[in-house]
Structure 1
């Protein structure tokens, strides 16, 4: 290859993201310097956090710069190396972004073993989404056997892992997802005890029916009316891991009708960013990798083909059109 393609952020969205916010560029393959490696990416990860980075607003991380490669996790293969730690042919994970090829000095690059774990899984169940699920469950929710755990966006890359791990701890696990197909997958394939279809129009009633003993812990990915419904069912001293608020990612106003339960039920709510807890990543990745390699942890992927389809796949992700982990296949 003499050239490769990348996608940059061309403009900041006003409300919903559109294809016009992105621009595809063709560039010559760069030469590498001493200490660097050249990587041909095989898969690109698309994740909800990217929507927040597109805004020029104060947050936990700097905004995505305009006219620069969109941020994103990648897995691929080293095709040229002047770094003693990496050899041509090594499979690696990094943060090279929405690009077919990239150069790294190795600082944020990690070699991968694909003997028992598929390469793509390192962007999902054995990657940042899996670690997000593992951290929120084990460090914040800390559920005990017999307790009821509720997971929103239950069929997604994060929620699906939360529910399976909670079941393995002996909990009653109830998912919330959009559509009968996703709910059937959550129960029949992932082993949740129940799943509430928020699109069916009976969210509060269906959640009450699925949680007859109330809710002890919540992993929240959505916010809005989904989160409010869970709050209304919380037991005393319940714990909430606040991972995402995708219902408000396009600037929608999010209100909480049931806010008083934080006091009356003495709840603990903690928001978290998994990249701020790197000290626990080795432990979490080891546990998740073992479970995937031995078939104890299932995952599903939605795969868009080619970098040119990344913007539309990302827009679909924000609208809940993906099923499981959203990836873009680059090779």
Structure 2
């Protein structure tokens, strides 16, 4: 068994290149007590991967130079010294950008067994029935408390988190408007994901489009983008509106910034709460159970964009920031 690894060699300034990583081959690590050795099948590609490459204060320590690039993944157990786990089990954990990983339980991002017998593709537990779906559920249900009669706006709505967040808001009785880039994605939000309306943030008249589709204002903003998109949406917020701050993808590559109009936030008495998957450990079982139920009943739909090959992980991350994905972005390793 050969363990291919991509280790962070330098911190990218903007777009990510394969040259930012060193490629190494070695034997897989020996299995240890309380852990499993697992072979990576799929890597989860998320905006936070780009944040982890930066040497700045963040919710987790940045990836150190010389370390395997951090990432969640779906993997198959090949050896186990952990009760309840056996070779052949499919698991989710922080595999990193490599073929084999030593995984231990603990925390919302720790080792977890993928449920079986549910007629759900295993890779769905990296997206709609996993971290992205749980993030969407936490933001819409726990943070924003979206409900009947609300007008909810979701930015980066064609991505894995955004498309799930909009559908959850619809299931809870809200009117939902999505923000995405390009006419194809705008159309998909309405025709495939069931949004009530969608607007193109790349259009010259984006602000006018948003105003026309939120004539009664915005009660809930599920924010994934930041920058000018967020500022335009905040201007449409109703008094005592709620903002679930899930991501700031517009600034992760160092190409933009966000101004904070605290006067408007104060005057409208807005609730603004940032949240993160690491806060969701206790919520995880409830959220996943509900998401699986909705998915199997056809009440929620999800898509994946799959790129093949470990060495294409940097390319997949760039495609995510280019908005070239539909739904969850994955790298198939094995």
TM-score normalised by L of structure 2? 0.94
Structure 1 position 111 matched with structure 2 position 113: yes
- Aligned-residue offset at 1:100: 1.5
Query: How far apart are the structure 1 equivalents of 2:3 and 2:227?
Result: 41
Query: How far apart are the structure 2 equivalents of 1:105 and 1:61?
Result: 17
- Aligned-residue offset at 1:229: 1.1
Structure 1 position 281 matched with structure 2 position 280: no
Query: How far apart are the structure 2 equivalents of 1:257 and 1:10?
Result: 34
Label 1:75 to 1:258 Cα distance change in 2 as closer, same or farther (>3 A).
same
- Aligned-residue offset at 1:35: 4.0
Query: How far apart are the structure 1 equivalents of 2:260 and 2:55?
Result: 29
Indicate conservation of the 8 Å contact 2:153/2:177, yes or no: yes
Matches within 5 A, 1:117-128: 117-128=120-131
- Aligned-residue offset at 1:253: 4.3
Q: Structure 1: 5+ residue runs without aligned partners? A: none
Of 254, 260, 264, the match for 1:261: 264
Structure 1 position 320 matched with structure 2 position 319: no
Label 1:220 to 1:82 Cα distance change in 2 as closer, same or farther (>3 A).
same
Query: How far apart are the structure 2 equivalents of 1:262 and 1:243?
Result: 17
Matches within 5 A, 1:16-95: 16-95=15-94
Query: How far apart are the structure 2 equivalents of 1:324 and 1:253?
Result: 24
Q: Which residue of 1 aligns with 2:7?
A: 8
Give the secondary structure class of the aligned counterpart of 1:279. coil
Question: Which is worse superposed, 108-117 or 168-177?
Answer: 108-117
Indicate conservation of the 8 Å contact 2:75/2:95, yes or no: no
Q: Which residue of 2 aligns with 1:229?
A: 232
Structure 1 position 252 matched with structure 2 position 255: yes
Structure 1 position 309 matched with structure 2 position 309: no
Query: How far apart are the structure 2 equivalents of 1:191 and 1:30?
Result: 46
Indicate conservation of the 8 Å contact 1:22/1:311, yes or no: no
Query: How far apart are the structure 2 equivalents of 1:28 and 1:301?
Result: 31
- Aligned-residue offset at 1:72: 0.8
Query: How far apart are the structure 2 equivalents of 1:330 and 1:191?
Result: 32
Moved over 6 A (4+): none
Give the secondary structure class of the aligned counterpart of 2:257. coil
TM-score normalised by L of structure 1? 0.95
Give the secondary structure class of the aligned counterpart of 2:165. helix
CA deviation profile, 1:197-222 (whole Å, cap 9, x unmatched): 11122110000111111111100000
Indicate conservation of the 8 Å contact 2:49/2:70, yes or no: yes
**CA-based RMSD:** 1.6
Query: How far apart are the structure 2 equivalents of 1:166 and 1:106?
Result: 32
Query: How far apart are the structure 2 equivalents of 1:15 and 1:36?
Result: 36
- Aligned-residue offset at 1:144: 2.3
Question: Which is worse superposed, 275-284 or 218-227?
Answer: 275-284
Of 170, 185, 190, the match for 1:187: 190
Indicate conservation of the 8 Å contact 2:94/2:103, yes or no: no
Matches within 5 A, 1:131-142: 131-142=134-145
Indicate conservation of the 8 Å contact 1:222/1:246, yes or no: yes
Q: Which residue of 1 aligns with 2:217?
A: 214
- Aligned-residue offset at 1:258: 5.0
Q: Which residue of 2 aligns with 1:143?
A: 146
CA deviation profile, 1:16-64 (whole Å, cap 9, x unmatched): 3333212222222333244432211111001101111111111221111
